[in-house]
Amino acid sequence: MTLDRLGVLSRSVAFLADTVRAGGVRYVAELPEPLPSAGASQVLRGWLAAAADVVADPEAETRAARWLDTVAELIGARRDSRGPHQ
């Protein structure tokens, strides 16, 4: 996963999922730095900009937030499976 390879923590993506729920996909896509690193922010911004183009209703916003929650879970699971020293 791209964000995992860029060192993004699962809690950062989970926080963005909550932010999508509160402000919407477009709002998060337009944040100047949605993640701690510029490279990861650029990747995420591209994903969110594409999603913002097709999100048309509150249900779609909720699906986008759930998608970010799932990404966060996957990052966490990958880190857990590698163990503490990898």
Average pLDDT per consecutive 10 residues, the chain (86 residues; last block may be shorter): 87 96 94 92 92 92 96 90 65
Range of the domain at 40: 2-82
| 86: exposed, middle or buried (Cβ count in 10 Å: 0-12, 13-18, 19+) | exposed
CA angle (51 as vertex; 46, 54 as ends), nearest 5: 140
Domain count, the chain: 1
pLDDT at 81: 80
pLDDT at 82: 75
pLDDT at 76: 92
pLDDT at 20: 96
